[in-house]
Structure 1
Amino acid sequence: MEFANSGYLLLLLLLIPYLLWYFFRGKGKEPTMRMSDTFAYQHAPKSWKVKLIHLPMALRCTVYALVVIVLARPQTYNAWDNKDTEGIDIMLTMDISASMLTEDVFPNRMEVAKEVASEFISSRPSDNIGLTIFAGEAFTQCPMTLDHAALLNLLHNVRTDLVTNGLMQDGTAIGLGLANSVSRLKDSKAKSKVVILLTDGSNNVGSISPMTAATIAKKFGIRVYTIGLGRETGEDIGAIDYKTLQDIAVLTNGEFYRAQSQAELSKIYQDIDKLEKTKMNIKSYDHLHDAYMPFAWLALLLFCFELILRWTVFRRLP
């Protein structure tokens, strides 16, 4: 057992002056009564009240000590927890090229993709999930983690500003984005390894082709779900390379989807969520198990007991 606020334990030292005051108060000032002979009282039995005269004081000290322990927040290391988890490692691979600012879905493709991905992450609390972003180049925005609060924060901060401000090459390097995610998953020991690749274009830059990256993914047993996002109208017709996205999914035993609205994209993520279910039992160890409640209840019980004794058995007349 350890204490989260161990400094409060120093308050126990206040018991020392209290006990000294209690036992030495009034020494030499006891009331006396003159008697001719005390022989009759020398062997007189003491009543149980006399024997327990210090009980209220002992109870008060015990209650005080218990309250101090509660304030110090005792914690134990013996809290084991069994929970069922999916046991899946997932890399979200998101296109952030300038075309993702297209407003054919409200408010634009980028914001819709981020919002739906956030909902997906929140629905999978037991999975390791990471994020790769790509335009003309690719990098890992967040490695796989169970800290989904941190992941969601990093996802929220994803902007196409990296491209528009010249900090990242524009273009659509689907092969590089997929290869980056595969490199994060290849050494994973999870029962299921998944990449969810979302883009609104076709591969037009990068040293690795999409099919080469897909072949590597297949070698490491990684399934790739591909999503083509956006409506094709006018000059945009043919912008999304559906065939390549479909070939990637087929090669890796994944699925290919088309999304032209936020509702369709949400439905796709829900379908993927249902497909990727691999139950396993994890025995986890809780290192921060608070154990102050027994002390708190015992302090309350003894406090009530001391009050009852003080106002009944050990009540003092004025």
Structure 2
Amino acid sequence: GRLVLPVMRYLALILLIVALARPQSGHTREIIYGEGVDIAIVLDISGSMAALDFEPNRLGAAKQVIHDFIEGRQYDRIGLVIFSKEAFSQVPPTLDYQVLERVLNETKVSWDLGLDSATSIGLGLANGANMLRDSQAKSRVIVLLTDGANNSGQIDPLTAAQIAKSLDIRIYTIGAARPGPALLPFPDGHIEYRDSEIDEESLKEIANLTGGLYFRAEDRQGLQQIYDTINQLERSQVEVRLFTRYTELAAWLIVPAGLLLGIEMLLRRTLFRTIP
């Protein structure tokens, strides 16, 4: 039993020695200065996006590359608009990239008019511009990807581009299709060759009007390079500073050391008192 007393004294001594070294606990905070870019991804999901000239198909390749593009951003709010015959704002500009990527992964080709492929580029752009209309970001960007020409919808693409320009929104346009016919599987199971219908002149005009750029992608690798280029052109003006606040831990050691010494002295004078 008497062995308890020196053990308690040694423990108290060790705690006091460690306390003299002034151990500290640090809590680090990120403080962000500046702001990111607000981006609306406007994605064609019309039937022709099922064409097999890209691996696994045009839409599948676009989704993979857009996923990588999102992963390459950090402080930018990104939203998603999809369009075929109609246009839908799927995800408003957000920093929650997990939600954005989940919705993107669930996006499928839309066959609106039986076996015909309806493409409302103007509606897609108008939805993208509307999504960014109330944005407070200094830099606002639409990235449009399509494999066709505008053949549906009530809004002309150039009218939508004018709206975007008036809101100081840049539009990058991407035409995604190889020249010539491509194999296209239809919902009823048959496959046939369909010619590419990209209206490059309109896509160039939309980009030029708003201060953006037009790109043509003929395979997944080309598409990847285009999104990498846009990634570099639209860098966030963000500075991140780390601040660390330190907390002294010595008090947490001195208190138990004092308690141990007090108990040791009490035991020495009572339970383990030496009788002369």
Q: Same fold (TM over 0.5)?
A: yes
Q: Give the match for residue 91 of structure 2.
A: 142
Tell whether the 8 Å contact from 1:130 to 1:151 is kept in structure 2 after alignment.
yes
- Contact 2:50–2:57 (Cα < 8 Å) also in 1: yes
Q: Is 1:203–2:158 an aligned residue pair?
A: no
Compute the TM-score of the two structures, normalised by the length of structure 2: 0.74
Greater RCO, CA 8 A, separation 6+? 2
Match of 1:224 in 2: 171
Pairwise CA RMSD: 3.4
Matched residue, 2:272: 317
Letter in 2 for 1:246: K
Q: Which runs of 5+ in 1 are unaligned?
A: 1-55, 60-77, 284-290
**2:128 maps to what in 1?**
181
Q: Does 2:220 match 1:262?
A: yes
1:85 and 1:271, CA in 2 relative to 1: closer, same or farther beyond 3 A?
farther
Separation in structure 2 between the aligned mates of residue 303 and residue 211 of structure 1, nearest angstrom:
75
Aligned residue pairs total 235
1:276 to 234, 244, 263: 234
1:172 partner SS: coil
* Secondary structure of the corresponding residue to residue 163 of structure 1: coil
The answer to which structure has the higher helix fraction is 1
Q: How far did residue 302 of structure 1 move?
A: 3.5
Q: Please state how far the C-alpha of 1:82 moved relative to its aligned partner.
A: 2.1
CA separation of 1:156 and 1:82: change in aligned 2, threshold 3 A: same
Give deviations 1:180-226, integer Å, cap 9, x for gaps: 00011122221111000000111110001111111111111110000
The AA in structure 2 aligned to 1:130 is G
| Aligned residue type for 1:123 | G
CA 1:86–1:142: 2 relative to 1, 3 Å: same
The answer to whether 1:108 aligns with 2:57 is: yes
In structure 1, distance between residues paired with 2:195 and 2:112 = 23
**Offset, 1:118:** 1.1
Q: Which residue of 1 aligns with 2:42?
A: 93
Task: Report what 1:253 is aligned to.
Answer: 211
Matched AA of 1:204: N
d(CA) in 1 for partners of 2:111 and 2:251?
63
Q: Corresponding residue for 1:157?
A: 106
Provide the TM-score with structure 1 as the length reference.
0.65
Q: Which has the larger radius of gyration?
A: 1
Give the conservation status (yes or no) of the 8 Å contact 2:40–2:79: yes
Which contiguous aligned blocks of 4+ residues in structure 1 show a shift greater than 6 angstroms?
A: none
Which residue of structure 2 aligns with residue 66 of structure 1? none
Please list every run of 5 or more consecutive structure 2 residues that lacks an aligned counterpart in the other structure.
1-8, 13-26, 182-192
* CA gap 1:211/1:164 in 2 versus in 1, 3 angstroms: closer
Aligned-partner SS, 1:207: coil
Distance 1:197 1:88 in 2: 16
Instruction: Indicate if the aligned counterparts of 1:90 and 1:129 stay in contact, CA closer than 8 A.
Output: yes
Moved more, 248-257 or 271-280: 271-280
Give distance in 2, aligned partners of 1:165 and 1:125: 39
Does the 8 Å CA contact 1:228/1:259 hold for their aligned counterparts?
Answer: yes
Change (3 A) 1:237 1:98: closer
Which structure has greater strand proportion?
2
